[in-house]
Amino acid sequence: MATDVIMPQMGFDMKEGTLVRWLKREGDAVRKGEMIAEIETDKAVVEIEAFGSGVLRKTYVGEGQTVPVGYVIGVIAAAGETVGDRPAGGAPPKASPAHHPSPGKGVAAAPASGEAMQRPQSSASHERAGGQPMPASGEAVQRAQSSASLERLKVSPLAKREAEERKIDLAQVTGTGPGGRITREDVVRQATQAGTPAKAGPATPALGAATLRFGETAPLTRMRQAIARNMTRSKQEIPHVYITAAMDMTRAVDLRQQLNEALGAEARVSVNDMVLRACALALRGYPVFNASYTEAGITVHPQINIGMAIALPDGLVAPAILECDKKSVAEIAQASKVLAERARAGRLTAQEYTGATFNVTNLGMHQVESFSAIITPPQTGALAVGAVQQEPVVRGGQVQEASVMRVTLSLDHRAADGAQGALFLKDVRALLENPVRLLL
Amino acid sequence: MAETYDVAVIGAGPGGYIAAIRAAQLGMRTAVIERGALGGVCLNIGCIPSKALLRNAEVVNLARHGETFGITYRDVQFDMGKAVDRSRAVVERMVKGVAFLLRKHKIEVIAGQARLTAPGKIAIDTSGQQVSARNIIIATGARNRDLPSLAADGKAVITSTEALALRTPPRHIAIIGGGAVGVEFAYYFRAYGSEVTVVELLPRLVPQEDEEVSRHLERALAKQGIAVRTGAGVTGAEHAGGRVRLALSAGEPVECDTVLLGVGVRPNSEGLGLEALGVAMERGNIVINERMATNVPGLCAIGDVTGKLLLAHVASAQGVAAVEGIAGLAPRALRYEDMPRATYCQPQAASIGLTEAQARERGYEIKTSKAALMASGKAVALGETDGFVKIVADAKTGEVLGAHMLGHDVSELLGEVAVTRLLEGTALELGRAVHPHPTISESLMEAGLGIYGESLNV
Ligand SMILES: Cc1cc2nc3c(=O)[nH]c(=O)nc-3n(C[C@H](O)[C@H](O)[C@H](O)COP(=O)(O)OP(=O)(O)OC[C@H]3O[C@@H](n4cnc5c(N)ncnc54)[C@H](O)[C@@H]3O)c2cc1C
C-alpha cells in the first residue's frame, strides 16, 4: 500500500515547513521508521521518518521548497505499485475551506463531538494499580508499580510499556492522542529524538559546544546550522524596522523589590519577568505582532506565547511561556525558571520549542545598554532588552537620578509599520512605568 | 443550471451511504447516486441476507440435535423457501432503514447509472440528468467473478446471488472457493441436507486466517459432514444430463448437480469514465492513498472498488475517512490490519490483527496464548465447546498483535479486541478487565492472562 510522506506539524503555530534535504532519493528502498528527509521548522531542523516501508517512489517537493503543513511531499510504495505524478488529492488539505459551503456548521460540528469524546476518557485512561491485588510474578509486580507512579498522566498502556522498554520518562513526552493522551507513537518519536540528539534542535548535552581552536575549522553543529539558516532566512526575507525606546524603571525596580520581599527567595521575580508580562499584555492590543506573515495573509495566533531567549553553550533557544498574558508576574517568574532549567537539560517539549509567537531577548545582565534582535521566522516581532542603568533624568525641571532601561523592537515591515511599533512600545512603557498595572 | 453539491457519492452500499451521512452530518450538501437498491451488495445480496439464512441453518442444526436438550419431534420439516422469505423480509426492513436515514439527513438520492464526464461532473445515463459536485466519492463496489474455466450460468453454475434465493437445497453442491462466503454457504446448505463439497485451491480453508483456525474449522466442518478438498484447483467442467463433473488439479473429480462460485469479486470500475480522467487503477481497483484520495483532485474512492479489504465495515470506515479528509478534519489513518474479519458459520471463525506467521514475518518476538472453549462454563452450558481463543502478543510490550478465534458466536468478541487495539491496550488489560461470568468473552480474558503465564482457569 502506498504511504504518503507529509509535511508534519511540529508545533501548533507551524503552518509550513521547508524541505532542507532528502536523505533518500527517488528509487531508494526505505524501511518504516527510517529517516527520509530533513525539514526545517521555524526553530529547528528536524528529520522526518517514513511511516511505511517500500520504495521512495516520488518526491513531489524539491530541496529548499516550502510547503504547508500536511502537504504530501513524497510517496512510498511497492516497486510495482502505481503512484501519481502529482500528490494525490492535489491541493494541500488546508485549501479545504473552499469545499465548505457552510463552514460555520461544519466547523462547529467537529470540535463539539471531539470534546464529548475526551471527557469520559480522562477519567478512565489510567489504571489504579494500588487498588488491585498484586499479581504473583515478579515481572507483573514491576509492571504494577510503574503504573502507579504514572497515575496522573493520560497515557495508553502500550505507550507505558514502550516507555519502560526504551527508558523514556513519560513526563517529558507530549501526547498527541485525544485529550493529549500519550500514544505509543509519541513515545517512539521522543525516543528517536533522544537517540539522534540534534533532531529536535538544541540542548541535549551530547550536542555540546563545538570546541574552537586557533588555526582549525570546527564542523557546524546542528544547532549552529539551524540558527545560521533561520537567521539568514530572516534577514533575506523580512525587512526589519528597529525602534528603540527608553523607559523609566524606577517604580518597577521598587515594586520588584517589594514583590521579592513578599514572595521569598524561592519565587524571585526578575526585571525580565516584568518585561515579559508587560509585553504579553501589550500584545493583546497589537495582534499584528503576535502573528505570522505570508503572502496569503497575516495569521494571528490564538495564544500569546512569548519566547524567552536562553543562551546555551553552543547557541540559543527561545522556548515559549505558553499563554503568557494569562499568567501573573509570579507565574511567569516560575515558568521562566523551569524553562531555563529544562532548556539546559535538553528536555523541552515540542510545543515549548516551537510554540513561541513573539520573542524577548535580554542582554541586560551583561550591562548592554541597547541592541537589536533578528526576528525569528515566522514571527513578526522581537524585543531586545538592555540593562537597567542609573541615569540622570529631568523631572519637573529638576535633574534626578532614575533607573532607565532601553528596549528595541524589531518588526516585520511587511506585516506592520513603524508607527504601530511605536504605539506598542508606548503601551509597554506605560505598563512598566506604572507597574501596579502588571499585578492586575 | 443544477446546483453544485459539496459531495456526490456514486453507489449506496455500506461505503457510499455511510459516507453520505457523514458528509451531511458535517454540513455538506450531499447527493448519493444509486442504480440499484439502497444498501448495495451488503444489504441486498451479501452480508445481511446471508446472515439471516445462517441463523436459519443454526436453528435447523439445533433442531436436528434436539435430543441433546430432551426435545423429540415427529415429522419435523425444514422449509428452505421459508428461510429465503425470512431473509428477504430482513433485507426489506434494513433497506427501508437506509432510505429513512438518508431522508433524515436531507441527502438527495438520485436513481440511475452514473458516469463521470469531467472532474466534478457526473452524467446520469439513464435519465440524462447532470450532477455537479466539488468532491466525488466512488463507492461502486464489486461483483462476483467467474473462473476462466467456468462461468456462472445462473442454473447449474451459480453465484452467491442465486444461492441466496434457492428455495430447495441442491442434492449435491460443489462450492468453489473456501473463503468466508464459500464456507458460510457450505454450512447453510449442509444444514438443509445437501451433500456439500468445498474445493479450495490453497492448502487450507479460510486461508487468510491463522493456520490453527483453518485446521480447526476444517475439522468442525468435517464433523458436520462437509467434504473439504483443499490444494485443488478446478481445471475443467463437463455438463451432462443436468449434472456437472468438475475436474480438479488434484484427486478425483467431483460430480454434483450445482456448482457455487465463491471465488471472489471484480471491482465495478468500468463504464464510469475513469480512464478518460486518468484515474490510476491497478487490475481494475481504483488506487487510493490513506485519505482515500485518487490521483485526480476532488475524486475519492472507497469500499470494494478499491480492492483493499472487501468487507462492509471497511467500506464504511473508508467512507468516513474520505469525508473527514474532504472536510479538512485531521485524518484518521485506517490500519487495515486492525479491521475485524469473520466467517459466520457455526462455529464461527473470527480474527483481527496479525496472524502468528505474519507477526513472525514482521520480525516481532511473540508470545501466544490460547484458551480452549472446553474450559468455558458458558460454552459447556450452551453445548458449544468446539473452539478456542488465541492471542498473539508482542513479547516485549504485551501489545495484542492479533486475536484469532473459533467458536460459537465468537465474532461478537472482535469488538473488544478492536477497542483494545485502538486504545493501545495490551494483553495485560484484556486479562485484568473483569469479564462477566459466564460468557465466552471470559476466554479472551484467560488468553490475555495466559500471555503472562497467569491464566486462572486453564
Ligand atoms: C454473499 C456475500 C456475503 C457477504 N458477507 C459479508 C459479511 O458478512 N461481512 C462483511 O463485512 N462483508 C460481507 N460481504 C462483502 C460486502 O458485501 C462488501 O464488502 C460490501 O458490500 C462493499 O460495500 P461497497 O459500499 O464498497 O459496495 P457495494 O455494497 O457493492 O455497493 C455498491 C453500490 O454501487 C452501485 N453502483 C455501482 N456502479 C454504479 C454506477 N455506475 N452508478 C450508480 N450506482 C452504481 C451498485 O448498484 C451498489 O448498490 C459479503 C458479500 C457477499 C457477496
Question: What pLDDT does A346 receive?
Answer: 67
Separation of alpha carbons A193 and B344, rounded Å: 46
| Residue A363: per-residue pLDDT | 93
DSSP for B336-373 reads: GGGS-EEE-SSSEEEEEE--HHHHHHTT--EEEEEEEG
pLDDT: which is higher, A70 or A430: A430
Chain B residue closest in CA terms to A1:
B289
pLDDT tier, A42 (very low <50, low <70, confident <90, very high otherwise): low
Which residues is B123 bridged to in the sheet? B115, B130
Whole-structure pTM over 0.90, yes or no?
A: no
Reply yes or no on whether the pLDDT at B321 is more than 90.
yes
Residue B114 Cβ contacting ligand 1 at under 6 Å? yes
Question: pLDDT at residue A116 above 60?
Answer: no
A99 and B287 in contact by Cβ < 8 A? no
Measured between CA atoms, the residue of chain B closest to residue A81 is: B282
- Confidence class of residue A194 from pLDDT cuts 50, 70 and 90? low
Chain A residues close to B417, C-beta within 8 Å: none
Say whether B326 and A99 touch across the interface (CB within 8 A). yes
Q: How many residues does chain B have?
A: 458
* Residues of chain A neighbouring B280 (CB-CB closer than 8 A): 82-84
Give dist(CA A162, CA B188) in Å, integer: 46
- C-beta atoms surrounding A131 within 10 Å: 7
Residue B34 in contact with ligand 1 by CB distance below 6 A? yes
A284 vs A92, more confident:
A284
Mean of pLDDT values over B329-342: 87
Q: Is there a cis peptide before residue B438, judged by omega within 30 degrees of 0?
A: yes
Q: How confident is the model at residue A44 (pLDDT cuts 50, 70, 90)?
A: low
Which of B41, B183, B339, when mutated, tests ligand 1's pocket best, judged by the most ligand atoms within 8 Å of its CB?
Answer: B41
pLDDT at A94 over 70: no
B176: pLDDT strictly greater than 80: yes
Q: Is the pLDDT of residue B458 over 90?
A: no
Q: Residue A176 phi/psi, 5° resolution? A: -115, 0
Q: Give the distance (Å) from ligand 1 centre to CA of residue B310.
A: 9
pLDDT band per the 50, 70, 90 thresholds, residue B104? very high
Cβ of B16 below 6 Å from ligand 1: yes
If pLDDT is split at 50, 70 and 90, which confidence band does B124 have? very high
**B24 min Cα distance to partner chain A (Å):** 9
Q: What percent of chain A is modeled with pLDDT above 70?
A: 76
Is pLDDT at B440 greater than 50 in this prediction? Answer: yes
**C-alpha to C-alpha distance for A318 and A230, rounded to whole angstroms:** 13
Domains of chain B: 3-144+266-336 (3.50.50.60), 157-263 (3.50.50.60), 347-450 (3.30.390.30)
**Residues on chain A touching B290 (C-beta within 8 angstroms):** 1, 3-4
For the sheet containing A16-22, what is the strand order?
Answer: A45-49, A35-40, A16-22, A66-68
Nearest CA in chain A to B299: A89
**Can you give the pLDDT at residue A284?**
95
Omega within 30 of 0 (cis) for the link into A378: yes
pLDDT at B21: 97
Residue A312, pLDDT score: 80
Q: Is B41 in the pocket of ligand 1 (CB under 6 A)?
A: yes
CATH class held by domain A147-217: few secondary structures
The residue among B143 and A61 whose pLDDT is bigger is B143
Specify the pLDDT at position A35. 80
Question: Tell me, what's the pLDDT at B318?
Answer: 97
Q: Tell me if B13 CB under 6 Å of ligand 1.
A: yes
Q: Ligand 1 atom closest to Cα of B11?
A: 34
My answer on whether omega of the bond before B347 falls inside 30° of 0, hence cis, is yes
Residue A221 pLDDT > 90, yes or no? no
Query: Reduced to 3 DSSP states, what percent helix, strand and coil does chain B have, rounded to the nearest 5?
Result: 35, 25, 40
What average pLDDT score do residues A383-406 get?
90
Question: Which residue in the block uniquely carries the three cell numbers 509519541?
Answer: A186
Which residue puts its alpha carbon closest to atom 5 of ligand 1? Answer: B47
**Model pLDDT for residues B149-162, shown as the tens digit of each residue:** 899 999 999 999 99
Average pLDDT of the residues in B361-390: 95
Query: Ligand 1 center to residue B287 CA distance, Å?
Result: 18
ipTM exceeding 0.85?
A: no
Which residue of B7, B428, B432, B434 is the best one to mutate when testing the A interface, meaning the one whose CB has the most A CBs within 10 A? B428
Compare CB distances from A82 to B280, B398, B454 and report the shortest one's residue.
Answer: B280
A260 band by pLDDT with thresholds 50, 70 and 90: confident
Higher pLDDT, A394 or B218: B218
Residues of B in contact with A116 (CB under 8 A): none
Alpha-carbon gap, residue A312 to A293, rounded angstroms:
29
Does ligand 1 come within 6 angstroms of the Cβ of B179? no
Percent of chain B residues topping a pLDDT of 70: 99
Kindly give the number of the ligand 1 atom that is closest to the alpha carbon of B115: 41
The Cβ-side half-sphere exposure at B323, using a 13 Å CA radius, reads 29
pLDDT reported for residue B374: 95
- Identify the pLDDT of residue A225: 79
Q: How far is the CA of A187 from the centre of ligand 1 (A)?
A: 40
pLDDT digits (tens, 9 = 90+) for A136-189: 333 433 333 334 344 456 889 899 888 888 888 888 888 887 777 888 888 888
CA-proximal residue: ligand 1, atom 15 (nearest): B311
**Closest Cα to atom 3, ligand 1: which residue?**
B46
Fold exhibited by the domain A225-439: Chloramphenicol Acetyltransferase (3.30.559)
pLDDT tens by residue, B80-95: 999 999 999 999 999 9
Q: What is the pLDDT of residue B2?
A: 63
Which grid cell is A150? Answer: 504514572
Taking residues B354-381, what's their average pLDDT?
94
Q: Is B15 in the pocket of ligand 1 (CB under 6 A)?
A: yes
CA B344/CA B350 separation, integer angstroms: 8
* CA triple B34-B37-B41, angle to 5 deg: 95
> CA of A204 to nearest chain B CA: how many angstroms apart?
28
Instruction: Quote the crossing angle between the two packed helices B47-64 and B80-104, to the nearest 10°.
Output: 140
Quote the pLDDT of residue A205: 29
Atom 35, ligand 1: residue with shortest CA distance: B11
CA of B12 to the centre of ligand 1 (A): 9
Residue B315 reports pLDDT greater than 70? yes
Q: Which atom of ligand 1 is nearest to the CA of B302?
A: 26
Q: Which atom of ligand 1 is nearest to the CA of B14?
A: 25
The 10 Å Cβ neighbour count of residue B119 is: 14
* Per-residue b or e along A70-99, where b marks 16 or more CB atoms closer than 10 Å to that residue's CB: bbbbbbbbeeebebbeebbbeebbeebeeb
User: Which residue in chain B has the smallest CA separation from A91?
Assistant: B297
Residue in the block written with cell 448519493: B32
Break chain A into its structural domains and give their ranges.
3-126, 147-217, 225-439
B46 CB within 6 A, ligand 1: yes
User: Are A377 and A233 within 8 A, CB to CB?
Assistant: yes
| Residue in chain A nearest B421 by alpha carbon | A158
Q: Mean pLDDT score of chain B, rounded to an integer?
A: 95
Report how far ligand 1's centroid is from the alpha carbon of B13 (Å).
Answer: 5
Q: Tell whether the model's pLDDT for residue A128 goes beyond 80.
A: no
**How much is the average pLDDT of B132-156?**
94
Are B290 and A97 inside 8 Å of each other by CB? no
Residue nearest to atom 26 of ligand 1 (CA): B303
Cβ pairs bridging A and B (under 8 Å): 122
What rounded mean pLDDT belongs to chain A? 77
Counting every residue written for chain A, the total comes to 440
- Comparing A204-208, B260-264, B278-282, B452-456, the range with the smallest average pLDDT is A204-208
Instruction: Give the model's pLDDT for residue A13.
Output: 56
Q: Lowest mean pLDDT of A264-278, B272-286, B396-410, name the range.
A: A264-278
In CATH terms, the fold of domain A3-126 is OB fold (Dihydrolipoamide Acetyltransferase, E2P) (2.40.50)
pLDDT digits (tens, 9 = 90+) for B18-43: 999 999 999 999 999 999 999 999 99
Residues of B involved in catalysis: 437
Give per-residue pLDDT as tens, B203-252. Answer: 999 999 999 999 999 999 999 999 999 999 999 999 988 899 999 999 99
- Model confidence band, residue A209 (pLDDT cutoffs 50, 70, 90): very low
- The closest-lying atom of ligand 1 relative to the alpha carbon of residue B310 is 19
Q: What is the pLDDT, as a whole number, of residue A211? A: 64
pLDDT score for B196: 98
Taking phi first (over 0 means left), then psi (-120 to 50 degrees means alpha), and beta for anything else, what does residue A297 get?
left
Contact B234, B259 (CB under 8 A): no
- Identify whether A99 is a catalytic site residue: no
Q: Which residues contact A203 (CB under 8 A, 6 or more apart)?
A: A223, A312, A317, A343, A344, A345, A346, A347, A348
* Per-residue pLDDT at A207: 32
pLDDT at A201 over 70: no
Name, in order, each residue with C-beta under 8 angstroms of A143's C-beta and a sequence gap of 6 or more. A129, A135, A161, B428
Quick one: closest CA in B to A158, which residue? B424
Q: Is B312 in the pocket of ligand 1 (CB under 6 A)?
A: yes
Is the shortest distance between the CB of B325 and ligand 1 below 6 Å?
A: no
pLDDT the model gives residue A263: 79
